[in-house]
Amino acid sequence: MTNSYPFVVFGDEFKDKRVLVTGGTKGVGEAIVRRFELSGASVATTARSAPAPGLAPALFIQADLGTARVSKTSSIAFSKSGVGSTYW
């Protein structure tokens, strides 16, 4: 994650909060993941492409959520992950 961020961020604003961001590896989704991480949230994300260098969500599942089957499979993976039992 970059050390510079153009907005004021309080490190504990989202402390102990869990956030799921779909499409969190590029563009607006990536910015949302970074913002929540900087504010102390535990972030999970899913996207078609891998996270950018420096982006380290607590949980990442590479998937295209364009179909109901993949969406259900991803939801199950989130709930069964090691991170899921700790943070979710």
Secondary structure class of 47 (helix, strand, coil): strand
CB 83, CB 59: distance < 8 Å: yes
| Residue 17, pLDDT score | 85
How confident is the prediction for the chain on average, in pLDDT?
A: 77
How large is the average pLDDT for residues 35-44? 89
pTM comes to: 0.71
Residue 15 confidence (pLDDT) above 70: yes
Residues 13 and 36: their CA atoms lie apart, in Å, by 9
Dump the DSSP string for 17-31. -EEEEETTTSHHHHH
| Residue 64, pLDDT score | 78
pLDDT bracket for residue 8 (50, 70, 90): confident
